[in-house]
């Protein structure tokens, strides 16, 4: 009787720890990929036969896709179930990471990075929501502190880990490194996470979403020309051509 009582009282705590670990892993993976590829760009440029402006879209495409697809995460999770969406996005992000590592040219790389951004957009907001739901009100400050560590660790670790993987192995491992963590995350979410109730009456704000999709290309062109380019001078490509490229990238997401 005592053993049964002890087991029933410790199971929810163990389940919470496992879901927290999976949510943290998903958060770190998504945040890590915003910076881990930066140092590998010169190596990708040679392998993929891309110009300096073209290879910058390896970073920009991921940011554009993630920025646009973050908006509908709440609607999709409420409509189809938080667990299902979390698992699909974690699995899709892992698969897209592998495809990025297998890319043979710059077109494939940018396309797979767009796909990675689409699936990765949901990982951070869903992980935060899951942790808020699992912890009581008086424990949420602790939960957000744990979650915040994952958000901060990813971008900080990215350049160092990316440089080590590139120098030790090759730039492909900048993306392959997500595979084992992605598999563990998906398996953990399938086993330990509980499904939420569906809200089939919720309506989607198409006007706001399309407005975000149309405004993101302009932001992406600014990021590409002023932030991501390693050169200090002006880019050889015109702003109009850069905007057309970003518009195509954003349109594929929308």
Tens digits of residue pLDDT in 78-88 = 889 999 999 99
* pLDDT at residue 217 in the model: 54
* Per-residue pLDDT at 89: 95
- 5 assigned to some structural domain: no
* 11 occurs within a structural domain: no
Share of the chain above pLDDT 90, in %: 40
135: left (phi over 0), alpha (psi -120 to 50) or beta: beta
Residue 4: inside a domain: no
pLDDT band per the 50, 70, 90 thresholds, residue 189: very high
Evaluate whether residue 10 is within a structural domain: no
Does 9 reside within a domain?
no
- pLDDT value of position 191: 92
Q: Is residue 106 part of a domain?
A: yes
| Environment class of 66 (CB within 10 Å of its CB; exposed 0-12, middle 13-18, buried 19+) | buried
User: Residues 94-149: pLDDT tens digits?
Assistant: 999 999 999 999 999 999 999 999 999 999 999 999 988 888 888 889 889 888 88
pLDDT at 10: 35
Per-residue model confidence (pLDDT) at position 186: 95
The DSSP symbol for 201 reads T
Whether the per-residue pLDDT at 244 is higher than 70: the answer is no
pLDDT in tens, 212-224: 666 655 555 554 4
Domains held by the chain: number: 1
Q: What is the DSSP string of 50-109?
A: --HHHHTHHHHHHHHHHHHHHTTHHHHHHHH-HHHHHHHHHHHHHHHHHHHHH--SHHHH
pLDDT attached to residue 12 = 64
The Cβ-side half-sphere exposure at 251, using a 13 Å CA radius, reads 6
**Of 176, 174, 178, nearest in space to 159 by CA:** 174
CATH code (residue 183):
1.20.1250.20
Q: How large is the average pLDDT for residues 62-68?
A: 89
Is 6 a member of any domain? no
Q: Which of 29-33, 119-123, 196-200, 229-233 has the lowest mean pLDDT?
A: 229-233
Give the Cα separation of 174 and 161 in Å (integer): 8
Q: In which residue are the tokens 């969406």 written?
A: 85
Distance, in Å, from the CA atom of 245 to the CA atom of 24, rounded to the nearest integer, reads 34
Which pLDDT tens digit goes with each residue over 147-182? 888 888 888 889 999 999 999 999 999 999 999 999
The confidence band for 204, taking pLDDT boundaries of 50, 70 and 90, is confident
The whole-model pTM stands at 0.78
Query: Could you give the CA distance from residue 206 to residue 33 in angstroms, rounded to a whole number?
Result: 28
* Domain span at 197: 17-253
Does the pLDDT value for residue 38 go beyond 80? yes
Does some domain include residue 8?
A: no
């Amino acid at each position: 009787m005592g053993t049964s009582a002890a087991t029933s009282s410790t199971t929810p705590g163990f389940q919470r720890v496992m879901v927290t670990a999976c949510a943290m892993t998903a958060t770190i993976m998504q945040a890590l990929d915003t910076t881990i590829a930066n140092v590998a760009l010169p190596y990708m440029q040679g392998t993929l036969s891309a110009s300096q402006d073209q290879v910058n879209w390896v970073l920009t495409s991921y940011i554009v896709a993630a920025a646009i697809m973050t908006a509908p995460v709440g609607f999709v999770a409420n409509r189809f179930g938080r667990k299902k969406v979390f698992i699909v996005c974690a699995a899709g992000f892992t698969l897209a990471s592998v495809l990025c590592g297998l890319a043979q040219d710059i077109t494939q790389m940018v396309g797979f990075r767009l796909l990675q951004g689409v699936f990765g957009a949901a990982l951070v907001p869903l992980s935060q929501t899951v942790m808020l739901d699992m912890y009581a009100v008086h424990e949420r400050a602790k939960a957000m502190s744990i979650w915040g560590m994952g958000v901060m660790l990813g971008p900080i670790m990215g350049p160092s880990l990316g440089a080590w993987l590139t120098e030790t192995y090759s730039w492909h491992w900048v993306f392959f490194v997500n595979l084992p963590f992605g598999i563990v995350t998906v398996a953990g979410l399938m086993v330990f996470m509980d499904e939420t109730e569906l809200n089939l009456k919720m309506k989607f704000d198409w006007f706001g979403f399309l407005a975000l999709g149309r405004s993101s290309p302009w932001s992406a062109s600014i990021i590409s020309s002023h932030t991501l380019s390693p050169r200090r001078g002006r880019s050889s490509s015109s702003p109009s051509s850069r905007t057309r490229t970003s518009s195509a990238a954003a349109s594929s997401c929308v």
